[in-house]
């Protein structure tokens, strides 16, 4: 039997299509994906350009993307890049893991602003997300201020957290809360935001709940409450560049023999005083790449949010 070149090409194409469901992408961590694909748009960033994960952000992002870690609570200060980390991990779930995601902002208006200034700009500037968005830049049922439905079938919702109706009907794999402490503690008398929101992931094979916020009033702060419910409370320890002793940085005050200090009437002279041996540490001397996240409760620690070691390990 003779087979023409055209017939052979058609057969090869048919076999390729048939085998496509068996193709699996090479697994990547959230940090690997972000460093390879993520881009900071000028509309929502101080500096436009390719994303590079900072040393202290590595374990945070990898925990967010780690299927073995179901819940992540981040008590943060301002300007540590939480929203950017969160958006990068959402992109990772959309493109790399094909997971449906739902992100809550404190209000409907905040959710709309986030979708317009952060999400749409990110999709436009990240090629692998843009390739999944044939509707980009035009009106389409898959391109709204509450939903982005990608050509892969994956959906991303961004909703306000003040209305109980926004916590209904959606079935997703990942639910995120941006500035959790700014949410109402009881949403229209139906329960806390995390109680209602986390119901949306109960049917997922790999459920993930990510919460983050700057803390507010001690004792009533929602992110503090969420973190205290966990068996693990981790802090970022860095070694002193002079004595090598690890410590997490504390503000301190005039009476403490550690923390931030400066010469009288000269705030620009600020330095950090090591709590172990009183070493004077300037910011440029701290090497965060040698830092570790250590659990206050168990002593368990990690550098990358992927592998965790026992105390002393």
Q: Which residues are known to be catalytic? A: 179
Which tokens is 187 given? 């949403």
Nearest-angstrom CA–CA distance, 215 and 176? 17
Residue of 74, 78, 79 whose CA lies nearest to 177: 74
Which tokens is 154 given? 């994956």
CB-count burial class (<10 Å; 0-12, 13-18, 19+) for 66: buried
Half-sphere exposure at residue 82, Cβ-oriented, CA atoms within 13 angstroms: 18
CB 39, CB 50: distance < 8 Å: yes
Query: Facing residues of 209 across strands?
Result: 71, 175
Residue of 239, 250, 212, 230 whose CA lies nearest to 300: 230
Nearest-angstrom CA–CA distance, 294 and 122? 33
Residue with tokens 């990608």: 150
Residue of 262, 259, 287, 285 whose CA lies nearest to 273: 259
Backbone angles phi, psi at 26, to 5 degrees: -65, 125
Please give the DSSP secondary-structure letter assigned to residue 143: B
Query: Facing residues of 248 across strands?
Result: none
Nearest-angstrom CA–CA distance, 192 and 183? 9
Residue of 53, 182, 198 whose CA lies nearest to 106: 182
């Amino acid at each position: 039997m003779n087979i023409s070149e055209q017939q052979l090409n058609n057969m090869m194409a048919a076999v390729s299509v048939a085998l496509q469901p068996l193709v699996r992408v090479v697994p990547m961590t959230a940090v690997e994906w972000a460093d390879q694909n993520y881009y900071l748009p000028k509309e929502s960033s101080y500096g436009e350009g390719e994303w590079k994960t900072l040393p202290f952000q590595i374990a945070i992002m990898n925990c967010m993307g780690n299927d073995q870690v179901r819940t992540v609570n981040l008590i943060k200060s301002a300007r540590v890049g939480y929203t950017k980390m969160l958006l990068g991990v959402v992109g990772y779930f959309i493109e790399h893991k094909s997971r449906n995601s739902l992100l809550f902002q404190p209000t409907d208006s905040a959710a709309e602003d986030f979708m317009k200034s952060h999400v749409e700009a990110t999709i436009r500037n990240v090629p692998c997300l843009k390739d999944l968005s044939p509707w980009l830049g035009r009106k389409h049922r898959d391109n709204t201020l509450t939903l982005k439905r990608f050509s892969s079938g994956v959906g991303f919702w961004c909703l306000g957290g003040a209305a109980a109706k926004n916590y209904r009907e959606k079935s997703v794999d990942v639910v995120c809360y941006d500035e959790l402490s700014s949410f109402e503690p009881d949403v229209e008398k139906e329960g806390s935001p995390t109680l209602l929101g986390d119901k949306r992931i109960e049917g997922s094979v790999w459920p993930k709940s990510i919460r983050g916020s700057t803390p507010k009033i001690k004792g009533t702060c929602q992110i503090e409450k969420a973190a205290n419910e966990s068996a693990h409370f981790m802090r970022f320890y860095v070694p002193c560049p002079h004595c090598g002793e690890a410590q997490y940085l504390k503000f301190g005050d005039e009476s403490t023999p550690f923390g931030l200090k400066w010469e009288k009437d000269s705030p620009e002279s600020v330095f950090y005083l090591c709590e172990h041996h009183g070493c004077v540490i300037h910011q440029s001397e701290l090497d965060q790449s040698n830092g570790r996240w250590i659990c206050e409760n168990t002593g368990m620690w990690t550098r990358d949010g992927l592998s965790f070691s026992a105390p002393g390990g």
